[in-house]
């Protein structure tokens, strides 16, 4: 069973791309299975930063076939901009495959995203405004346009025109200016033509690869607590980043998967609205944001930050069947006198250890912390687990004890090689 899933264990931006880059060395196919260009996945190689939104993070390796599978919603302007940027930097995207079944994002999805956010007033979700929610809504309403439709460009043009006219009526009803239908049809037919060579039956492709014994890596975007079902609804994204979504979104079966790696930072961040039990609104929070450079890759928004929450991580283990954890950004805690880890919640005075399923209840819990001495040492050059200071080891031991699965990889810097690996 040579399939590995990488899934965010918090609210996104855990450093998934860096771990995917590391795991890509031993995988031939790297497959995005959900989300769209709301993702911002950063890999840093020799000081060169690659910020990927749609193209799988394994693309930086020549031996990797990058696959955008059926569960992804694809914004073609972004995809081609990304391909052009990568190819301009000598990274070939010639092998990229895009599933026939993946849904496309159109300008009306972005318009509806903005209208829906404006209508929520003070209760905004804080979406990326990329049209992700409306595109998935169209998929569920069975009016979406799929990538494979570009094989017949005349029909594709008719479909796009009909959809644009129908959506324009709704946009005008909401008091917004209509979109330019002719411009959209013309532009998307050109994108469609360019997309044709990338279109593939990726389900068959991946199963044939499996049959040949190829190693496949399924790259999650967003994260467990942004999951449409299991996240802090309605402050979530509109797909299922959790490991179950990896099967639906790629066409691989649950029994094909052997390894499910949950990625967590050594602390917690969130961008956008919604409950966040361990959020810090004090100087420690500022330090995490400043030292951790916690500004969104896609929207540039300042992230919210707080201590590591093991109640969430335990829930992430359950929801995803995590076999292991990769913990990133341990180096960001280097300067702290003391470091806290949340091990439980207090709800109306009572200690609870489970993660509440209601967002309004989660918003009311108070975190219970275990406080440890900080290590006050620069970890950025440490490469051997045995060279970690005792305090950093104590921190990792608490995480493993609380969460119940091993921490196998620890990140100590943004560069590709800034990690420590525990080998079995
Ligand atoms: P993703 O969306 O989960 O792939 O994560 P992002 O790329 O949005 O955000 C993670 C940020 O942290 C990026 O800027 C990475 O370069 C950086 N990063 C990843 N791992 C580490 C680490 O171990 N230490 C430090 N200092 N930075 C890291
Ligand atoms: P990566 O893959 C962090 C958040 C948005 C918002 C909510 C819904 O880089 O970890 P959407 O545009 O998806 O409808 O927004 O989800 N969000 C992310 N937060 N990292 C991401 O992706 C995110 N993708 C969406 O900020 O709160
Ligand atoms: Mg990100």
Note if 378 is an active site residue.
no
Give tens-digit pLDDT for 300-356: 889 999 999 999 999 999 999 999 999 999 999 999 999 999 999 999 999 998 999
Average pLDDT of span 62-80: 98
Cis bond leading into 210, ω under 30°?
no
Residue 36 CB less than 6 A away from ligand 2: no
Average pLDDT of span 64-78: 98
pLDDT score of 209 = 98
Could you give the domains of the chain?
103-195 (1.10.300.10)
Is 424 a residue whose pLDDT tops 70?
no
Average pLDDT of span 148-154: 98
Which atom of ligand 1 is nearest the CA belonging to 412? 23
pLDDT score of 296 = 83
pLDDT score of 319 = 98
d(CA 59, ligand 1 centre) in Å: 17
Average pLDDT of span 282-288: 97
pLDDT score of 322 = 98
pTM for the model stands at: 0.97
Residue 409 CB less than 6 A away from ligand 2: no
Q: Which of 78, 97, 43 is nearest to 191 (CA)?
A: 78
CA dist 189 → 103, 144, 158 (Å): 15, 16, 10
Annotate 148-186 with DSSP letters as a single string: GGGGSHHHHHHHHHHHHHHHHHHHHHTTPPPP-HHHHHH
Pocket of ligand 1 (CB under 6 A): 8, 12-18, 40-42, 44, 297, 328-329, 331-332, 411-414, 418
Least confident window among 72-86, 147-161, 286-300, 329-343: 286-300
d(CA 15, ligand 1 centre) in Å: 4
Note if 41 is an active site residue.
yes
Between CA 123 and CA 273 the distance in angstroms is 8
Q: How far is CA 366 from the centre of its chain?
A: 27
């Amino acid at each position: 069973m040579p399939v590995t899933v990488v899934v965010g264990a918090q609210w996104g931006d855990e450093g998934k791309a860096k771990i995917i880059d590391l795991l890509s060395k031993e995988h031939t196919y790297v497959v995005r299975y959900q989300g769209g260009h709301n993702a911002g996945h950063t890999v840093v190689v020799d000081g060169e930063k690659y910020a990927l939104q749609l193209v799988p993070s394994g693309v930086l390796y020549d031996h990797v076939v990058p696959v955008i599978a059926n569960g992804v919603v694809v914004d073609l302007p972004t995809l081609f901009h990304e391909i052009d940027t990568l190819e301009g930097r000598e990274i070939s995207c010639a092998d990229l495959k895009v599933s026939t079944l993946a849904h496309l994002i159109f300008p009306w999805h972005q318009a509806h995203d903005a209208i829906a956010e404006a209508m929520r007033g003070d209760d905004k979700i804080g979406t990326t405004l990329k049209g992700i929610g409306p595109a998935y809504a169209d998929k569920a309403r069975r009016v979406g346009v799929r990538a494979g439709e570009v094989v017949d460009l005349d029909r594709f043009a008719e479909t796009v025109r009909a959809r644009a006219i129908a959506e324009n009526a709704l946009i005008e009803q909401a008091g917004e200016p209509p979109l330019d239908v002719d411009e959209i049809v013309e532009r998307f037919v050109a994108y469609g033509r360019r997309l044709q060579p990338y279109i593939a039956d990726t389900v068959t492709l991946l199963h044939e690869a499996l049959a040949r014994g190829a190693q496949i890596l399924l790259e999650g975007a967003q994260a467990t607590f942004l999951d449409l079902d299991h996240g802090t609804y309605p402050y979530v994204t509109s797909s299922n980043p959790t490991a179950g979504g990896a099967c639906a979104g790629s066409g691989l079966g649950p029994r094909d998967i052997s390894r499910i790696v949950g990625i967590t930072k050594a602390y917690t961040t969130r961008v956008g609205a919604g409950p966040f039990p361990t959020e810090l609104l004090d100087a420690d929070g500022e330090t995490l944001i400043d030292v951790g450079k916690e500004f969104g890759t896609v929207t540039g928004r300042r992230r919210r930050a707080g201590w590591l929450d093991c109640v969430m991580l335990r829930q992430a283990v359950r929801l995803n069947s995590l076999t292991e954890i990769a913990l990133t950004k341990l180096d960001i805690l280097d300067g702290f006198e003391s470091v806290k880890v949340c091990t439980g919640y207090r709800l109306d005075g009572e200690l609870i250890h489970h993660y509440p399923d209601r967002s309004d209840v989660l918003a009311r819990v108070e975190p219970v912390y275990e406080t440890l001495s900080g290590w006050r040492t620069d970890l950025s050059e440490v490469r051997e687990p045995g060279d970690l200071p005792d305090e950093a080891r104590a921190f990792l031991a608490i995480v493993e004890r609380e969460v119940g699965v091993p921490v196998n990889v620890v990140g100590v810097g943004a560069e590709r090689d800034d990690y420590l690996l525990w080998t079995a």
